Amino acid sequence: MRIQHAEKTDVGMRRENNEDNYLVLPEQNLFAVFDGMGGYAAGEVASAIAANEVKEFFRLTAADEEATWPFKAERDRSYDENRLLTGVKLANARILEAGEEDGGAKRNMGTTAAVVHFVERNGVGAKALVAHVGDSRVYLFRDGALQRITADHSLLEEYLRLGKLTEEQAKNFPQKNIILRALGQQKVVDVDLRAIEPRAGDVFLLCSDGLSGMIADEVMQSILATTPALDAAVKKLVDAANAAGGTDNVTVVLARYQPG
């Protein structure tokens, strides 16, 4: 398989520092976005730890598939699914450890995670493994249409799911930024994971809420539909978020799947 990619992160129009990080590891067909949180620059520390831990775990296991993992594999999961889950869980543990250092000054730091890992083994068709924690998102752009394939772990999304809010009420919901799940908050983290069979030309869009919270999905879809070059599309997406107010850091990763 061949994965074309483009990525960009931007501090936005209102923030002084960028707490987002992304991970692009082409040799492993691995792509991720992390949106950090926590005062005194702790958010950028948490997201950087997550990006580094996932990267190093994938490099270690690529060199030695028999390497010992720090967490037990789930029996109903494939090797690649367990590998991805373990990388994210390892990032969670490392953030917790770092939070206790220096007298616990960064104890409450955390980060979201949105990860896509493309795999193809033993003659079985390609899979795009999508893992996420928090409200950073993964979208699939296919045949001119954009579809969100992750569900935010947020209070807003939970209220919508339970019917406590309508879509119209959600626009003015005062607690939009409350997330219910993140890395670095508890010893055991629940990571959502699903497998998608990619088609030639599929584009996976990973983003922090600095993008999805600023522009509508329809705007993202229009940009992708009219901008086939991924570098140009990434720039247009970030520029659109900033033009809409840029109230948060914005990070976008695009990965286009091509078989063969």
Domains of the chain: 2-258 (3.60.40.10)
The segments of the chain whose pLDDT lies below 70 read 39-41
Please tell me the predicted confidence (pLDDT) of residue 227. Answer: 98
Please tell me the predicted confidence (pLDDT) of residue 164. Answer: 82
Residue holding tokens 């508890």? 186
Please tell me the predicted confidence (pLDDT) of residue 62. Answer: 95
Angle at Cα 182 formed by Cα 191 and Cα 7, nearest 5°?
85
The secondary structure of residue 182, as a DSSP letter, is: -
| CA nearest neighbour of 253 among 171, 138, 172, 166 | 138
Please tell me the predicted confidence (pLDDT) of residue 66. Answer: 87
Please tell me the predicted confidence (pLDDT) of residue 240. Answer: 98
The residues near 19 (Cβ < 8 Å, ≥ 6 apart) are 35, 36, 37, 41, 43, 44, 47, 249
Please tell me the predicted confidence (pLDDT) of residue 166. Answer: 83
Please tell me the predicted confidence (pLDDT) of residue 109. Answer: 95
Q: What is the pTM of this model?
A: 0.95
Please tell me the predicted confidence (pLDDT) of residue 40. Answer: 63
